[in-house]
Amino acid sequence: MALNPADDTFVSLLKTRLPAACFKEDTAQYFEEPRGRYEGHGVVLAPASTDEVAIIVKACRDAHVGIVPYSGGTGLVGGQIMPDGARPIVLSTERMKSIRAVYPTENVIVADAGVILADVHRAAEEVDRLFPLSLASEGSARIGGLLATNAGGVNVLRYGNARAQVLGLEVVTADGEIWNGLTRLRKDNTGYALRDLFIGSEGSLGIITAAALKLLPRPAQYGTALLAVPSPKAALDLLALAGSQVGESISAFELIHRMGPSFLEETGFDVAKPFDAWPEWMVLVDLGLPASVDATEVLETLFVAAAEAGYVTDGVIASSEAQRQAFWKIREMIPQGNKRIGSVSSHDISLPLSAIPEFIERGPGELAKLGDMRINCFGHLGDGNLHYNVFPAQGRDRKDYDNVRNDVKKCIHDLVHAYDGSVSAEHGVGRLKVKDIETYSDPAKLAMMRAIKASLDPLGIMNPGVVLRAAD
């Protein structure tokens, strides 16, 4: 069913039902996305409560007007931007920013969808707890968007994706009804796992308005090392060795190619340089440990064993929290260096761990058939998630590659699919990868997804064109 635009008549109707504070005047920021691939349009509303969200959704349902949920605006696949079609309502959660409750003895925090991730971290710290979801955009990313995309980040190896951090949800459905699913129960076998259905749906089934999130005890101490490895295969061997020595204490295990810090230097970022020259490959290891062990001793023991096995060639163990943060700054600034260089095509992919070395070895040869390009491969090796990004040759601009950009993406995604990987590991599908999902997904999976969408959002008003192609 065709959608209608959010025209002046519809906006006037909303003004009779909502407070004036809901209506945003300066809206340019809501129509841009970080990579500059999309420019959107719409009428921006910022409700302050779940009831106001329900009023908006019911009005849109009755008028057949599309809704684009907008969280922190940090998404990289265009899920928060609607570039064409009938003018939608852009529903920002920015005013829904209350920490509703904290239950330290239960290890639970209940937060509105618009709460910034860093604020959840602070609230957890105040009761000596940890909320383990961690990523570079935590100063602006909001809980609703993080859950809607099932965000990953650096700690997935130990704690799991965003879905694993949630006990219950509050959701406004496509009918404008409120599902009060903010349970704090750890066990509840009373039917379908609706929570998991909405997490990762990217606002295409309903709008998450609040969540009951799991908290954990904080590690007594951290141990961090930046280690030079001869190859991705050696990095995987190091991961296995670390697992055998320290078990589940590995919080993060990040693979870094020298191109990442080289881009930072090339674009003027000031980061520490722990080695005289950047090794071809590095691993950033972060351990969360109890007070009863010596973190430096644990890492030294690991390094000695790894060096004897040929898995590492050099390394630096952080001797202070400041040095630990300096190591992490190298990793977390890589996307900023990438942005200044300007990618031809960026890929958020995952692969079976054992397939990663061969994939990395084959990639440059396949891309060379399309032209001279640079590759910055980095990411969360511990959970198989690589950010495999392709850039112009030095001295050239990404615009020089516009004619091959789609070919580059297809080349990498075809190779990922050949190794039974995923073309969307943690960033979501958005609008950018809708065709990829159709190309690479199992037909039975697609059929079930379409059936769910048709059942929960029969009018197709919820984030039209995201995850699945919008119905004609």
pLDDT tens digits for range 163-195: 999 999 999 999 999 999 999 999 999 999 999
Please report, for residues 178, 227, 399, the alpha-carbon distance to residue 65 in angstroms, rounded to integers and kept in the order given.
19, 53, 36
Amino acid at 367: L
Model confidence pLDDT, tens digit, residues 9-22: 999 999 999 999 99
pLDDT value at position 1?
A: 66
Q: How confident is the model at residue 340 (pLDDT cuts 50, 70, 90)?
A: very high
Task: Give the integer Cα–Cα distance in Å for 471 and 454.
Answer: 10
Task: Check: CB of residue 408 under 8 Å from CB of residue 420.
Answer: no
d(Cα 170, Cα 193) in Å, to the nearest integer?
Answer: 13
Confidence band of 26 (pLDDT split at 50, 70, 90): confident
Which residue do the tokens 């761990």 mark?
353
Question: How far, CA to CA in Å, does 396 sit from each of 31, 172, 399?
Answer: 28, 47, 8
Contact by Cβ (8 Å): 367, 390 = yes
Side-chain half-sphere exposure of 104, counting CA atoms within 13 A: 8
What are the pLDDT digits (tens) for 98-132? 999 999 999 999 999 999 999 999 999 999 999 99
Q: Tell me the pLDDT of the chain averaged across its residues.
A: 96
Of the candidates 180, 189, 183, the residue with the CA atom closest to the CA atom of residue 208: 180
Where would I find the H helices in 310-442?
Answer: 321-341, 356-368, 405-418, 434-440
Give pLDDT, residue 62. 98
Indicate the residue type of 361: E
Mean pLDDT of 17-37: 91
Q: Pick 8-94's CATH classification: 3.40.50.2300, 3.30.365.10, 3.30.43.10, 3.40.50.150.
A: 3.30.43.10
pLDDT of 472 > 60? The answer is no
Model confidence at 50: pLDDT above 90: yes
Enumerate the β-bridge partners of residue 288.
Answer: 222
Q: Are 166 and 213 in contact (CB under 8 A)?
A: yes
Q: Does 8-94 match 99-217 in CATH topology?
A: no
CB 89 within 8 A of CB 71: no
Q: 359-383 b/e with 16+ CB inside 10 Å = b?
A: bbeebeeebeebbebbebbbbbbbb
DSSP structural state of residue 38 = -
**What is the per-residue pLDDT for 471?**
65
Burial annotation 107-126 (CB, 10 A radius, 16+ → b, else e): bbbbbbbbbbbebbbebbee
Tokens 């850039």 belong to 391
Q: Whole-angstrom Cα distance, residue 335 to residue 337?
A: 5
pLDDT of the residue at 35: 78
Cα(431)–Cα(468) distance, rounded to whole angstroms? 8
Top-tier CATH class for 342-418: alpha beta
pLDDT beyond 70 at 354: yes
Identify whether the C-beta of residue 461 lies closer than 8 Å to the C-beta of residue 66: yes
Q: Which two tokens stand for residue 142?
A: 């909001």
Contact 344/379 with Cβ under 8 angstroms? Answer: no
Tokens coding 460: 């197709």
**In terms of CATH architecture, what is 221-340?**
2-Layer Sandwich (3.30)
Q: What are the domain boundaries of the chain?
A: 8-94, 99-217, 221-340, 342-418
**d(Cα 247, Cα 400) in Å, to the nearest integer?**
47
Contact 430, 70 (CB under 8 A): no
| Closest C-alpha to 111, from 101, 103, 121 | 101
pLDDT at position 112 is 98
Q: What confidence score (pLDDT) does residue 37 get?
A: 77
| Burial (CB count <10 Å: 0-12, 13-18, 19+), residue 16 | exposed
Q: How confident is the model at residue 151 (pLDDT cuts 50, 70, 90)?
A: very high
What is the residue-wise DSSP string for 124-160? HHHTTEE-----TTTTT-BHHHHHHTT---TTHHHH-
Topology (CATH level 3) of domain 99-217:
3.30.465
Which one-letter DSSP state was computed for residue 282?
A: E
How many C-beta neighbours within 10 Å does residue 332 have?
18
Which residues lie across from 389 on neighbouring strands? 376
With H, G, I as helix, E, B as strand and everything else as coil, classify residue 381: helix
Residue length of the chain: 472
Residue 140's pLDDT is 94
